[in-house]
């Protein structure tokens, strides 16, 4: 087993992430950033290759992240990336000892998602009520983000073939290229029908080869930033603070409002495409805080 330089180690790990792990591209990029940040730290400590790294180096790096006030979620993700990196090197006989073995992951901490009240969501969506192609398109996009809980990337990737059973269901591709089926709902279904019948042709300009559902004024697939821009504009027009409105906030509202109306947490997990129920359970804390407000307001002994 020869000495392994950092560049060779990172290149090998990057290839494994791309070919074997089934991770989303942005997750791969985040893992590689985390590993490269660690390598910079190790180089400053005089560790010139992966074989020289010991457990104390890893703990020192995690402690340095903590002192730098890095978010708990960032530290937890960095640890996951670092652990995967060294596990890969050991599995491929590039190092003899994995310095992360036996280390516990940093606690993520609870970060409650931002949500808007139901009335604010209603005001936002219903403010887009025109009949021009842009209005019909934007209304349908808002209905999909809130009514289906889609990630912005999932919304951008929808195509005309994303509806396996008419307008009753929508198939989207989430993190790790995993497909899931989400109920469309009456409001989103109605908005979709209006958009397809009266607006999409204005954007596609007769291009039958373009299959993406939502198109820009140039007849192209939306980017994430394009959706963000439209949402900020629509929030401002509805009298809402655009700084607190984003596609992900609408996704949080989807889950939180479902839970508030009695939806099962497992069903919400499926619709959001969360791999772990623990990710979804953050919404129970949101609802519990709402219950606390109700108790404080109405209980005679509160």
Catalytic-labelled residue, pool 55, 83, 123, 248:
248
pLDDT value for 1: 43
Digit-coded pLDDT (tens) for 204-237: 998 999 999 999 999 999 999 999 999 999 999 9
User: pLDDT tens digits for 43-52?
Assistant: 999 999 999 9
Average pLDDT of the residues of the chain: 87
239-254 residue pLDDT tens: 999 988 999 999 999 9
C-alpha closest to that of 152 among 226, 205, 56: 226
CA 229 centroid distance within chain: 18
**What ranges do the domains of the chain cover?**
6-91, 118-297
> For residue range 124-180, what is the model confidence (pLDDT) as tens digits?
999 999 999 999 999 999 999 999 999 999 999 999 999 986 658 899 988 777 889
- Catalytic-role residue among 151, 200, 234, 257: 151
Percent of the chain with pLDDT over 70: 89
The answer on pLDDT for 293 being more than 80 is no
Q: For the whole model, what pTM was predicted? A: 0.63
Residue from 25, 3, 11 nearest 85 by CA:
11
Q: Is 151 a catalytic residue?
A: yes
Of residues 175, 180, 194, 220, which has the active-site annotation? 175
283 is a catalytic site residue: yes
The stretch 56-72 carries a mean pLDDT of: 89
Any idea which architecture 6-91 has in CATH?
A: Orthogonal Bundle (1.10)
Check 77, 234, 251, 257 and give the catalytic one. Answer: 251
- Annotated catalytic residue within 114, 194, 274, 290: 274
Q: What is the DSSP string of 89-133?
A: HHHTTS-SS-TTTTPPPPP----PPP---HHHHHHHHHT----SH
Q: How far apart are CA 183 and CA 179, in angstroms?
A: 14
CATH architecture of 118-297: Orthogonal Bundle (1.10)
């Amino acid at each position: 087993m020869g000495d392994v330089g950092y560049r060779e180690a990172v290149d090998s790990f990057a290839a494994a992430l791309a070919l074997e792990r089934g991770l989303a591209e942005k997750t791969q990029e985040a893992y590689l950033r985390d590993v490269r940040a660690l390598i910079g730290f190790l180089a400053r400590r005089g560790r010139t290759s992966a074989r020289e790294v010991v457990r104390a180096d890893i703990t020192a790096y995690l402690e340095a992240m903590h002192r730098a006030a890095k978010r708990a979620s960032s530290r937890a993700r960095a640890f996951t990336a670092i652990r995967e990196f060294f596990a890969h090197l050991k599995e491929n006989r590039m190092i003899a000892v994995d310095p992360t073995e036996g280390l516990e992951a940093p606690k993520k901490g609870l970060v409650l998602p931002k949500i808007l009240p139901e009335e604010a969501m209603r005001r936002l969506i219903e403010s887009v009520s025109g009949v021009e192609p842009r209005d019909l398109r934007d209304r349908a996009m808002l209905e999909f983000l809130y009514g289906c809980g889609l990630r912005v990337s999932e919304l951008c990737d929808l195509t005309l073939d994303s509806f396996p059973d008419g307008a009753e269901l929508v198939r989207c591709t989430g993190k790790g290229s995993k497909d899931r089926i989400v109920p469309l709902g009456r409001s989103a279904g109605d908005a979709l029908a209006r958009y397809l019948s009266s607006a999409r042709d204005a954007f596609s300009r007769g291009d039958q080869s373009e299959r993406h559902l939502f198109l820009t004024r140039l007849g192209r697939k939306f980017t994430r930033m394009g959706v963000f821009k439209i949402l900020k504009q629509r929030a401002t027009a509805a009298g809402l603070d655009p700084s607190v409105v984003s596609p992900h906030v609408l996704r949080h509202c989807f889950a939180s409002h479902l839970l508030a109306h009695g939806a099962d947490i497992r069903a919400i997990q499926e619709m959001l495409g969360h791999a772990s129920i623990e990710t979804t359970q953050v919404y129970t804390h949101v609802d519990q805080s709402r219950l606390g407000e109700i108790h404080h307001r109405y209980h005679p002994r509160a």
